[in-house]
Amino acid sequence: MAISDNREPLVLHCDNVWIDPPGQFKPKSVELAGSTIGTVRDRISASIAETQRPEIDLGGAYLMPGLINTHVHLEFSASPDPLREFKSESVSERLLRAVRNARSMLLSGVTTARDCGSSLDLLAHIRRCRNPPNLPRLLFSGPPITVPGGHLSIFGGTVSNPEDISEVVSRSIAAGARSLKLIGSGGGMTPESFPEKVAFSQDVFCRVADAARANDVASAAHVLAAESVRRAAVARFDSLEHCAFFRRVSSGRLERRYDPEIACIVAESGVSIMANLSTATRSHETLVQEGIEGNLESRHALHQHEVMLENFGKLVDLGIPIVCGTDAGVRDTPFEDTGVELELMARSGMSNIAVIRSASLNAARVLKLQGRVGRIAEGHSADFVVLKNSPLADISSYRDPLYVYSQGHRITFSSSNGKE
């Protein structure tokens, strides 16, 4: 991957520029002023003589805002056992991986991402780099607030009592975190952590959400247990992560049991949901290829994925705002699969325009970046993904972008990516 050598004023002409609102393609000429968008006006014929600045005519391609992924873990490997690798590696090894993972996202069209749980070492490293253009714009939650031995306690955000919360929050904000995350239930990736159990009282949920509002940063709650979903909605976190409605059944397996009463509480609260439908789907594909006849665990995993898609459709029908996130970095969930997430949203009942907004307008709002990213409009960051076909007609168009622009820089794909 390479980037353009400079960000001199540039005009992009395109027959199909995504203008939202109202959510339509229009022929426009988009003037870049360094890292931001200058004017956006009705399309004019490419003419250096008229504009006195370099121009690119994209013709009939589709110019979209850069994708926003609200939930990734840059220090994880996306291998079958990312937690084991994290524990065995040095800080420098993890930081190098984080940079590679971020670049992989950028090549796929993601120009803004939130790391939803990381070490303070990663925040310090990125701050020293000052967010270079060969990486997406990155926001960090830092170490998530969790119980001793709880999910993602490896990052150092453990609290033993409510009074510890302010110390963890202050440390993360001082390190540059622009989001706070609460681990509101157990997590499947952490041993001796139970996804079906709530981790904190309602008071703690409210304290963390209030702390985020007081510091004017985004807030996210990891909620797998049904009751944890309810408590996070009552506390009005900006986004609820996963919303699995997990319960442990007599066989010992976890099952998703949609709770219509709690779902209505979520809808009434006005909070958003990040469902990460694409997590571990690479391993699901392998299970199908290998055959699942007689393998009860494999059949259960595939069935629960279908239940997740069905439950997601019910949440969409309630009008709950959806934001795009993939949980990239966890087991079998690579960083280039944001397009897969968008396709699964559409498969589960979202309209294509709603899917597009989940990774643009909605995501920008949840991350408190509205007015800066998520639109092709004057004053916004010059972040674009150029597609061959219309995602309004075919959401899978995001799988193979023609070009990506990050903060005014055009990303040049290497030949190994099959692009020039």
Instruction: Give me the pLDDT at residue 415, please.
Output: 43
Is residue 298 predicted with pLDDT exceeding 80? no
Q: What's the average model confidence in pLDDT over 142-163?
A: 96
Q: How many CB atoms lie within 10 A of CB 319?
A: 8
Instruction: Give me the pLDDT at residue 290, please.
Output: 64
The answer to whether the beta carbons of residues 335 and 104 sit under 8 Å apart is yes
The tokens for 169 are 């929050």
Q: What's the average model confidence in pLDDT over 70-90?
A: 95
Q: Element (H or E) spanning 114, and its range?
A: strand 110-115
Q: What's the average model confidence in pLDDT over 76-85?
A: 94
Instruction: Give me the pLDDT at residue 297, please.
Output: 76
Q: What's the average model confidence in pLDDT over 362-380?
A: 98
pTM of the prediction? 0.94
Q: SS3 for 325?
A: coil
- Give one DSSP letter per residue of 163-218, joined into a string: GGHHHHHHHHHHHT--EEEEE-B--TTSTT--TTSB-S-HHHHHHHHHHHHHTT-E
pLDDT tens digit string along 241-280? 999 999 999 888 999 999 999 999 999 999 999 999 999 8
Instruction: Give me the pLDDT at residue 49, please.
Output: 40
Phi, psi (degrees; rounded to nearest 5) at 233 = -65, -40
Please report which confidence band the pLDDT of residue 418 belongs to, taking 50, 70 and 90 as the band edges: very low
- Which segment of 47-56, 272-281, 363-372 scores lowest on mean pLDDT? 47-56
pLDDT tens digit string along 166-218? 999 999 999 999 999 999 999 988 888 999 999 999 999 999 999 999 999 99
The tokens for 137 are 């714009």
Please report which confidence band the pLDDT of residue 4 belongs to, taking 50, 70 and 90 as the band edges: low
Task: Region of 106 please: left (phi>0), alpha (psi -120 to 50) or beta.
Answer: alpha
Q: With 0-12 CB in 10 A as exposed, 13-18 as middle and 19+ as buried, what is 291?
A: exposed
Is residue 86 predicted with pLDDT exceeding 50? yes
Instruction: Give me the pLDDT at residue 287, please.
Output: 65
Is residue 147 predicted with pLDDT exceeding 90? yes
Please report which confidence band the pLDDT of residue 2 belongs to, taking 50, 70 and 90 as the band edges: low
Is residue 6 predicted with pLDDT exceeding 50? no
The CA distance from 381 to 371, in Å, is: 9
CA atoms within 13 A on the CB side of 381: 25
Q: How many CB atoms lie within 10 A of CB 384?
A: 28
Q: C-alpha distances in angstroms, 114 versus 67, 139, 297, 418?
A: 12, 5, 32, 28
CA atoms within 13 A on the CB side of 399: 8
Q: What's the average model confidence in pLDDT over 353-363?
A: 98
Q: Which of 189-193, 380-384, 411-415 has the highest mean pLDDT?
A: 380-384
Residue in the structure block whose two tokens are 């795009």: 324
Q: SS3 for 281?
A: helix
The CA distance from 65 to 19, in Å, is: 9
Task: Choose between 420 and 2: higher pLDDT.
Answer: 2
